[in-house]
Amino acid sequence: MRETTVIRLKEDIRLKNPTLLVGLPGVGHVGKLVVDHLIEKLDAEKVFEIYSPHFPPQVMVNEESTVKLVNNEIYICKANGNDIVLLAGDHQSTSTEGHYELGAIYIDIAEELGVKRIFTLGGFPTGQLTHTDEIMGAANDLEMVTELKEYEVTFKPNEPGGGIVGASGLLLGLSKFKNIRAACLMGLTSGYLVDPKSAQALLALLSKILSIEVDVSELEERAKDMEKIVANLMEAKQQEQQQPPEMLRDTATDEDLRYIG
């Protein structure tokens, strides 16, 4: 099988104690929304493209009807004097082997760029359509747990119960071998829908941690649109609960909501 291909777009990259933010597709697309927003608003420069047979066999079609092979990308930018590295992309690996191969590549690049701290960003599924700004955390270093508690990140023993699957969790484990401190920050989300409101809460936390200011108006607008959708879903669910039992046979159940969006 052909191996993963890393294309370097810039040779001389000099950063000072950069922080890596990882936002790949996942639950509620929370992390992806945050990192994609930062790339746009901070005018980040793309420095690596990563293509892999572990991604789905797929191309993305753009507005001009031309195509792009799915890939992941690494960007760099500076905000308020801080160097930031951003890992974004179209997909995570479709295989366990691919997750480890790609994870090792991401960590090697982070080490090369001098990354001292990693935040992987994702969503923590609650199964509830109601929203809270709470951010859950897990880390590979007790000092990071203490530090993040000062920002009111919630840490619960043995949570998430099933562990953290995919790049958001794996990079915490792999980075420890390179003595890179890492934490996963998870915005609470229903798990049913793409969730810009949870992304907005996570971005607000990151802005405090990194001492940066980012225009969030676009995320706010998307969050308002999502609130309308959630309100309609909750209204439909309430109406369903008020129906006689014999009328419920052909209506959607809570489990069906998992396939929305």
The domains of the chain are located at 5-237
Neighbours of 168 (CB within 10 A): 25
pLDDT in the model for residue 260: 34
Give dist(CA 124, CA 189) in Å, integer. 6
End-to-end CA distance of the chain: 33
pLDDT of residue 217: 84
Phi then psi dihedrals of residue 189, to 5 deg: -150, 155
Q: What residue ranges in 82-237 does DSSP mark as E strands?
A: 82-89, 117-125, 135-139, 181-189
State the CB neighbour count (10 A cutoff) for residue 234. Answer: 12
- The pLDDT profile of the chain, 261 residues, written as one tens digit per residue, is 468 999 999 999 999 999 999 999 999 999 999 999 999 999 999 999 999 999 999 999 999 999 999 999 999 999 999 999 999 999 999 999 999 999 999 999 999 999 999 999 999 999 988 888 999 999 999 999 999 999 999 999 999 988 999 999 999 999 999 999 999 999 999 888 889 999 999 999 999 999 999 988 888 787 777 777 777 776 676 667 666 665 555 544 444 443 333
The CATH fold of domain 5-237: Rossmann fold (3.40.50)
pLDDT for the residue numbered 90: 96
* Integer Cα distance of 186 and 11 in angstroms: 33
Residue 249: the pLDDT is 55
Name the β-bridge partners of 140: none
Give the pLDDT of residue 173.
Answer: 97
Contact assessment for residue 38 and residue 21, using Cβ atoms and an 8 Å cutoff: yes
d(CA 29, CA 25): 5
The predicted structure's pLDDT at residue 246: 59
Segment 228-236 long-range contacts (CB within 8 Å, at least 24 positions apart):
229/193, 230/129, 230/131, 230/190, 230/193, 233/129, 233/257, 233/260, 234/129
Neighbours of 257 (CB within 10 A): 17
Residues 6+ apart with CB under 8 A from 261: 192, 193, 194
CB 91 within 8 A of CB 155: no
pLDDT recorded at residue 51: 97
Looking at residue 223, what is its pLDDT?
Answer: 72
